Structure 1
């Protein structure tokens, strides 16, 4: 974990140290969105990665279309992933604290605070200083930062495996696909709306990437769902280490089908367990309500599986195992326990116990474990089995008063407190939470389920992948427990929620084994001083965990301190000295005087972002004839609606209506036409317009704007270029500034255009094409020379006059500033959450003595805190609305 400047031994006085975990692992140097033009052509051009099918596997699940799919290998384009943002939550918290301290004590801020942000961001990348090496992508390594990726999981996982060398490097994959064939299975349309109703058209997702994913997943019902899932499991298998695990969370509707398919992909011999876990409430059902969901757990190789056993405490309220039905009183009397005693009302000094088996099925050479035992005047033999221990061991058990005979057998006395825990099985009844408690996403999984999955199969520093991000619960749990993580989703809303959750999260500070405090605690627990060495805070060496004693038959039978004639107290002391211990991997020791926040992470995307359909491309990555016809039909449909509806902003009267609009067979331009502009003086003027239409299932990126603009200024030239898209890359707003007299108008198409005739009829022509607004930003310089940024709203272009006006800030969920933008990466140095429910509340409570109410309130403002002018001469402002749409503006200071 990154340490504060106060150092490890100064945590009791002064500011509360704020820490984050820094992993010593490296990751491939991938391009940022700003440096995409430096990506080599052979890296940018997608190559097809082939995953062979194996139709010889038996038994197999069969579904419609599977035979056709099995005739060829699974082909997935290997496309680059681009970094959009670099976020270091510790920087944000330290900066707020520095501002709060500066108000009270200017000198302290000057001496201890000013360089902190630069120090933390300086080692974010860990890249070579030479620019030509920094843009030599995929051939150099950079410091590890966790990753949140917008994109189709099939494309993302293939890129991670083939371009970034992560094949065989992921320890655990947690996959939470849609459970059933319902609209509301996995979609949320806004960060403010999580009460999604199945089957309601207004709650159906309008995000183009999710529309495509939804259609591909459900166009043939369960048949498409299984094909969709098999492709992703196939790629996921290659990412796993030999010791790795994959968990698929699923409901009872499809658990049997998915398990059969996982037998096919991973091999039935690699099935580890089927775990049932309780959920908050049973769905309203005509018959029996469903009260649990399932985790299907497979290993890459069960013989090499990494497994860390977890335990539950033995609790009278949760009912003890029924085997503990006997009781030994303080005077040594033994009898059957009463119902009250079994439920916890045990007399002082008494102990519940069970009678364990003293025999073993193992047969030794020459049957050395077969011999008679004399006890209470009777002779006992192990039958066809053998005794579990040797003759000396039996005598020690006798001396320890751990033998008891029933009518037919001799048993070993196991007290309930011999081991105050029990192994966690595959039925988890304690995972249900209250309805929608603390949920930010409609299908958010409780943390306990994911926590157990990760703790059983990973160690600190291991890599966890979640291809179905949702609200980011897997990333949140992985961050809490010191695991590296990568998560992705096709939903911009999901990633907006996950980003906020991780940026504002507060975690316990667990003692690292590789730290001075950890060594001290370890010595305290073991009674032995470890050899002195220089600690490095290496998370890969784990935490310092609590242990519990585990008294076993073996530990007593082999205990040399037990002798005949010892008192009960002496026997118990001897047993305790030689008892085995079990490590509680879910209970590391905490330092409550420290605060921990999320470590550095990046927000990334496939660019241009799109969702893969297996029918889109042949094995060479070229568009099929069928897909070409689909694209022509899509462009024709868009132009038909554009002619009728025109282009509008948020005011009903401000609409651009076309005098004519004709198809145009250009490379990037799809239509040309004319419209009449009233002009500011009232005199009408005919203007020439060109139209470029973005992808049906993807994001319009800066490249399309640039190429379409270059095509529009050639020849006769145009006055206006309308670029239509369902979603826009945040850097598009910077690209539209660069074409002189040509006005470039990003125009957002209503996603109902992609949803089919039924929804389109409900939408009508009123708001099908809306002008894409930009944030209205004011930058002020104070008397002290510092800068302040204010978001006044969103600029909206009036297509009838060419004028720009302003609307309110109500739709802004959050906005970020890079206060020293270098044109190579966007670092989130200031973050403001104007539309969230105060995500920093937990951190606020933890640091309330050092950061006042006014400083925290500034994090929810539309006006930034003051900051120094940038050394680079530029700042960048990114604004994100409740639908996950982003726009970036760069300002020269």
Structure 2
């Protein structure tokens, strides 16, 4: 099939990719597919086509708080003004003015939450940035390579075989449209974004117009207030010790996250959270919900904060869920956390009831009576077999009012509602009587335990303590069941879910499982790496679509369960028909029974209006229908047995017909958590993008950063002062190489009139001119700064021989551009994060502050069959515990990916490897059904450091991305011969 230029797939391929391709498994067929969403998303920029011109800086967005919805913990001193308002309203005699004055008084006398800096901060500014696409991940594309290898081994011809796995990717936009960012719509792909959630949400609102488009937001903010207690520094190490230096995160973004969140304790925490809640509210649909997970330390503050942002009237519920294991070594151990649920508009909030399956032995509760198969009702015994007897209870049919007042005849007596009211009209009670659903009292109904085999999910979740068997991959990871219930209660397939606190990717994983669209973000590279791996290697059941031609909009096919209610019985006209058809037989049988009992002696009545009275059959007394005993009475003549049995047979037959009709006409409750599962389809994660927030341009050393709000770490000294200290440190220590080499400078001075070059000097040994560009304080240095710095260096005279980029972390695209620079020596220097954490750590890890970073060591071999193979050997790795730059080797590679036809826009990996994965991790986590379709010996290769053989793509260029165990990425582009 012909291919288009630049690695684009043709329209015919796109159409073919939309179909579900059968996978051959012997003679059987299995379909391994992913759900597709028909919604669109804007074409946010691929990182490879971003330049200062195509993605220029944008003005900051200012967000203002609404001061009129503050709750309270202080009392307003403006009461005198309110009292004047009340006096004027009373004097006017105007009811509306008086009501308004009382409302004002109510607001003034209520408390509101206050904290340091709140009163001074009525608004805040957020950088307006584009979200850059770095990778387009498609598990189907990756696994298809293994499937092709299998078939090649079997038949010797890869191209003749159809792909087992298929993903849907529309054609890339033409380049002229590609660089018109946010101007065109593209097919939906889910999104995983690295960056501050405030910047991400602001970008979604300002750049993509997603206001009112998100159905559910789940936020799991940090619980504790200690540096390191919620931040995992290693991909493969989940046990984190608070205040242990080697366990402190080295990610500058995470250091900023800690400072922004906890630098002023609870005060900065509340500011941090309120800012994000405000933007979350703007993103929510009118029917949308937000869930905030929190522990007991701050649940009261967060509840007050949510009321302030969303309004008290939009509170929905406090959910209490049990965790796996008690916490707290002193005092009463804690086993629960909280989820606070608010709606954008409570009256319009989308809600789907979730049910729990009843356990008869545990949920029997008030069901203390039992009905035997004969129809006899007696007390329930502990030894009763619940499969033999039918547990029931009596439920009062009257209510306090209002309702209806009337009396009706029941079992020979007149029954009324007494001092209460009937909840049904008379004809409905008559139908309940015919159906055998009225208890002997006449005012109670009979409710069976099996009338509804489920119970309503309440706000107390005691069945969520199953985390120990969940296989946690992140230091703070929520049980899937908790997030699952929140999403199922408030979303439908195809709805959009946002989690601004990604962590291990639980929300994204759950949303993918249930066919919801998702966006998630996190400041931590480790979290993004773990979440990406989790999603790539996930397998799910395929839920059957109710209306396949409508896609996910048409919902799934859900299981339903009957829910017998008094209303459904009372509204069932078939009850009357059954009565008219079968009750005459009961009456005839009763007539024959009474005829047989004539002259048979006496009998004590056990029910109805004559309960306790003695009948004398020798005097012509007869039994009423409800007075016939269930057991044949001792002393009755043998000739009575036949009509006695006939009566009960007729009664039981009618009751069976009644019960069958009641079940058939019962309301059906939809089990939204139990969709119908396909037996011949398997499902993997659909395509998703890995994106990142670019950091705003760094200021030059002679530009002064104005003081910011108290919660921003940079406000303590200003960015300019920080960079001056970096320049002095660089001059003092120089740049250290891997084997002890040192690049030293004779002087470093501030460069005037340059924004991206921060100082200039000369190399001590050679006298060559060098310029230095410092990266952002709390983010990765990105490619726009590289390009702008290169331009400024080209305008200098004399032109420098060397440019050094110093940063705490490097965006892979920036790193690639630095490595590809020609005409000037361009170096990358890693900055020791001790420069950011002097106040957080016990001691510096090293006296060396700048380390020269080399490229990853990668080799490409061309085989005799003209296929290529890539082998990764490692990369330079800064060990914070030793304070040295060491060769990481293969043992430090958490993951690496290979794009075999790199188009210089964004990475589209065809092969992804997990060298550090254990026997139950990485691709081995795929479900057994999916792995059965693969050659597991080939699957093993996806956990090594040597690629599968591949043919050169049309671009004849490959890209290899390495991720180390700290989530640090390196990208290398190699041209093929």
Same fold (TM over 0.5): yes
- Residue 839 (1) aligns with residue 919 (2): no
1:575 & 1:705 partners in 2: Cα distance? Answer: 74
- My pick for the range that moved more, 350-359 or 5-14, is 5-14
Change (3 A) 1:635 1:674: same
Structure 1 residue 266: deviation in Å?
Answer: 0.6
Change (3 A) 1:226 1:849: closer
* Count of residues paired in the alignment: 833
Correspondence 1:650-669 to 2 at 5 A: 650-651=738-739, 653-665=740-752, 666-669=754-757
- Residue 330 (1) aligns with residue 373 (2): yes
Asked if structure 1 preserves the Cα contact closer than 8 Å seen for 2:737 and 2:851, the reply is: yes
Structure 1 residue 102: deviation in Å?
Answer: 1.2
Aligned to 1:92: 142
Structure 1 residue 594: deviation in Å?
Answer: 2.2
Structure 1 residue 77: deviation in Å?
Answer: 2.5
Asked if structure 2 preserves the Cα contact closer than 8 Å seen for 1:610 and 1:699, the reply is: no
Write the deviation string for residues 139-196 of structure 1: whole angstroms up to 9, x where unpaired.
Answer: 2100000000111111111110121011000000000001121224420001011101
Aligned to 2:160: 111
- Residue 124 (1) aligns with residue 207 (2): no
Please state whether the residue corresponding to 2:502 is helix, strand or coil.
coil
Correspondence 1:288-327 to 2 at 5 A: 288-316=332-360, 319-327=362-370
Structure 1 residue 741: deviation in Å?
Answer: 4.1
Aligned to 1:287: 331
Aligned to 1:857: 940
1:726 & 1:2 partners in 2: Cα distance? Answer: 45
Match of 1:67 among 104, 119, 123: 119
Asked if structure 1 preserves the Cα contact closer than 8 Å seen for 2:353 and 2:456, the reply is: yes
- Residue 776 (1) aligns with residue 857 (2): yes
1:395 & 1:807 partners in 2: Cα distance? Answer: 83
Aligned to 2:811: 729
Asked if structure 2 preserves the Cα contact closer than 8 Å seen for 1:277 and 1:292, the reply is: yes
Please state whether the residue corresponding to 1:704 is helix, strand or coil.
helix
1:308 & 1:64 partners in 2: Cα distance? Answer: 40
- My pick for the range that moved more, 878-887 or 560-569, is 560-569
- Residue 672 (1) aligns with residue 760 (2): yes
Asked if structure 1 preserves the Cα contact closer than 8 Å seen for 2:772 and 2:804, the reply is: yes
TM score, norm. by length of structure 2: 0.81
2:433 & 2:274 partners in 1: Cα distance? Answer: 58
Change (3 A) 1:858 1:15: farther
1:299 & 1:361 partners in 2: Cα distance? Answer: 32
Write the deviation string for residues 777-821 of structure 1: whole angstroms up to 9, x where unpaired.
Answer: 212222222121111222699xxxxxx997622221111111111
Correspondence 1:6-45 to 2 at 5 A: 13-37=27-51, 40=54, 44-45=57-58
Please state whether the residue corresponding to 1:213 is helix, strand or coil.
helix
1:757 & 1:816 partners in 2: Cα distance? Answer: 37
Write the deviation string for residues 198-250 of structure 1: whole angstroms up to 9, x where unpaired.
Answer: 33333222211111111111121111111111110001001000100000000
Give 1 or 2 for the bigger CA radius of gyration.
2
Match of 1:633 among 714, 718, 721: 721
Aligned to 2:670: 583
Aligned to 1:259: 303
Unaligned runs of 5+ in 2: 1-14, 73-111, 584-652, 879-884
- Residue 396 (1) aligns with residue 396 (2): no
Correspondence 1:705-744 to 2 at 5 A: 705-713=786-794, 714-744=796-826
Asked if structure 1 preserves the Cα contact closer than 8 Å seen for 2:22 and 2:30, the reply is: no
1:427 & 1:274 partners in 2: Cα distance? Answer: 9
Write the deviation string for residues 517-543 of structure 1: whole angstroms up to 9, x where unpaired.
Answer: xxxxxxxxxxxxxxxxxx35x012111
Asked if structure 1 preserves the Cα contact closer than 8 Å seen for 2:828 and 2:852, the reply is: yes
- Residue 489 (1) aligns with residue 489 (2): no
Change (3 A) 1:14 1:5: farther
Change (3 A) 1:756 1:150: same
Structure 1 residue 20: deviation in Å?
Answer: 0.5
Aligned to 1:172: 216
2:269 & 2:364 partners in 1: Cα distance? Answer: 41
Asked if structure 2 preserves the Cα contact closer than 8 Å seen for 1:127 and 1:141, the reply is: no
Please state whether the residue corresponding to 2:272 is helix, strand or coil.
helix
Aligned to 1:884: 967
- Residue 371 (1) aligns with residue 414 (2): no
Unaligned runs of 5+ in 1: 516-534, 678-684, 798-803
Change (3 A) 1:251 1:805: closer
Please state whether the residue corresponding to 1:67 is helix, strand or coil.
coil
Please state whether the residue corresponding to 1:872 is helix, strand or coil.
coil
2:799 & 2:698 partners in 1: Cα distance? Answer: 34
Aligned to 1:791: 872
Match of 2:827 among 745, 749, 760: 745
1:507 & 1:162 partners in 2: Cα distance? Answer: 35
Aligned to 1:353: 392
Change (3 A) 1:5 1:304: closer
Structure 1 residue 377: deviation in Å?
Answer: 4.1
1:890 & 1:13 partners in 2: Cα distance? Answer: 43
Asked if structure 2 preserves the Cα contact closer than 8 Å seen for 1:647 and 1:657, the reply is: yes
2:511 & 2:26 partners in 1: Cα distance? Answer: 28
Aligned to 2:785: 704
Aligned to 2:483: 450
Change (3 A) 1:38 1:29: farther
- Residue 250 (1) aligns with residue 285 (2): no
Match of 2:683 among 596, 618, 639: 596
Aligned to 2:568: 555
CA RMSD across the alignment: 2.9
Structure 1 residue 718: deviation in Å?
Answer: 2.9
2:706 & 2:852 partners in 1: Cα distance? Answer: 36
Structure 1 residue 835: deviation in Å?
Answer: 2.0
Please state whether the residue corresponding to 1:68 is helix, strand or coil.
coil
Correspondence 1:610-621 to 2 at 5 A: none
Structure 1 residue 607: deviation in Å?
Answer: 1.1
Please state whether the residue corresponding to 1:257 is helix, strand or coil.
helix
Aligned to 1:525: none
Aligned to 1:140: 184
Change (3 A) 1:9 1:327: farther
Asked if structure 2 preserves the Cα contact closer than 8 Å seen for 1:15 and 1:850, the reply is: no
Aligned to 2:604: none
Change (3 A) 1:142 1:44: farther
Match of 1:648 among 732, 736, 756: 736
1:6 & 1:541 partners in 2: Cα distance? Answer: 18
- My pick for the range that moved more, 806-815 or 51-60, is 51-60
Structure 1 residue 376: deviation in Å?
Answer: 3.7
1:765 & 1:640 partners in 2: Cα distance? Answer: 14
2:854 & 2:25 partners in 1: Cα distance? Answer: 48
Structure 1 residue 477: deviation in Å?
Answer: 0.1
Aligned to 1:518: none
Write the deviation string for residues 247-293 of structure 1: whole angstroms up to 9, x where unpaired.
Answer: 00000111111101111111111100000000011212421111100
Asked if structure 2 preserves the Cα contact closer than 8 Å seen for 1:732 and 1:887, the reply is: no
Please state whether the residue corresponding to 2:253 is helix, strand or coil.
helix
Structure 1 residue 575: deviation in Å?
Answer: 1.1
Match of 1:474 among 498, 502, 507: 507
Aligned to 1:681: none
Please state whether the residue corresponding to 2:695 is helix, strand or coil.
coil
Please state whether the residue corresponding to 2:790 is helix, strand or coil.
helix
Asked if structure 2 preserves the Cα contact closer than 8 Å seen for 1:509 and 1:595, the reply is: yes
Asked if structure 1 preserves the Cα contact closer than 8 Å seen for 2:708 and 2:714, the reply is: no
Please state whether the residue corresponding to 1:112 is helix, strand or coil.
coil
Write the deviation string for residues 746-805 of structure 1: whole angstroms up to 9, x where unpaired.
Answer: 111111210124637331304x322223222212222222121111222699xxxxxx99
Change (3 A) 1:16 1:772: farther
Please state whether the residue corresponding to 1:226 is helix, strand or coil.
helix
Correspondence 1:387-536 to 2 at 5 A: 387-406=422-441, 410-435=443-468, 437-515=470-548, 535=549
